[in-house]
Structure 1
């Protein structure tokens, strides 16, 4: 779950990733860039900061808008566009992997959409949550497949 390249192989939005600053593995404070594509939003780059790692339990990172696509450029992990997290938990004779995301508090595509269509806020949020859920399900199913194939 700490292989940053794996979600890029499975996600419909995240296309590729690369470690920055000479990092080659997830340590708190390490950074990686992600290249994303969305049919409606086009392509963009983010810089993520690893904020928590316990190889047997948790991997979490904060995504920043380094290039200022959605507002002022920022590399501050305290003001992320989104925060992502994987958690492993023993369950019965196996392991449950959970993936979660928290949007904000920094600006993102959702922010722009709500500013453009303030009267459609609920619709915008529901649409984005549906997209994120589908991407997360695809990623988790792919990881499960890899884990079961290597068993």
Structure 2
């Protein structure tokens, strides 16, 4: 696990990697199944494809409905920006030019299995976290630190879930 950045304007990032004893195609089938994502996340409750989309492709859009004890409930629109089976899948949240976050899975064949990484970047676009920072600017670094730790934990749990399913 690693993460960089201390302030929201720094567009902090987090990345977690794991090795999975399964071929990339098997792992890809799980990673690219957006409908499966809510089962791997405590925060993401459901997704729905919009704009006539029914599955991942560059330009496809889906809405994610999320819930967090401290942040409440919200929905975000995600736009798939990279889709290269079986190695790369990424989406930008909300505004394509100034996203509130970017999420990316990367798969690489390694040692008879697959190295899977999930990476995310917070910002640069304003998100719900921005409003908390506006209310308590003196606590920005702590707010960002806590949220990035939550993302790290969530990513770790997601990768463990994918690993378990792929190796089953």
TM range (shorter): 0.7 to 0.9
If the length of structure 1 is used for normalisation, what is the TM-score?
0.88
CA distance, structure 1, for counterparts of residue 37 and residue 76 of structure 2: 15
**Runs of 4+ with >2 A deviation:** none
Task: Report the RMSD for the aligned CA atoms in angstroms.
Answer: 0.9
1 or 2 for the larger relative contact order (CA 8 Å, sep ≥6)?
A: 2
- Which blocks of at least 5 consecutive residues in structure 1 are unaligned? 65-75
DSSP-derived class of the 1:78 partner: coil
Of 76, 99, 112, the match for 1:46 = 76
- Which blocks of at least 5 consecutive residues in structure 2 are unaligned? 1-30
Does the alignment pair 1:57 with 2:87? yes
Does the alignment pair 1:32 with 2:54? no
Structure 1 segment 2-151 matched on structure 2, within 5 A: 2-64=32-94, 76-149=95-168
If the length of structure 2 is used for normalisation, what is the TM-score?
0.79
CA distance, structure 2, for counterparts of residue 89 and residue 27 of structure 1: 20
Number of aligned residue pairs: 138
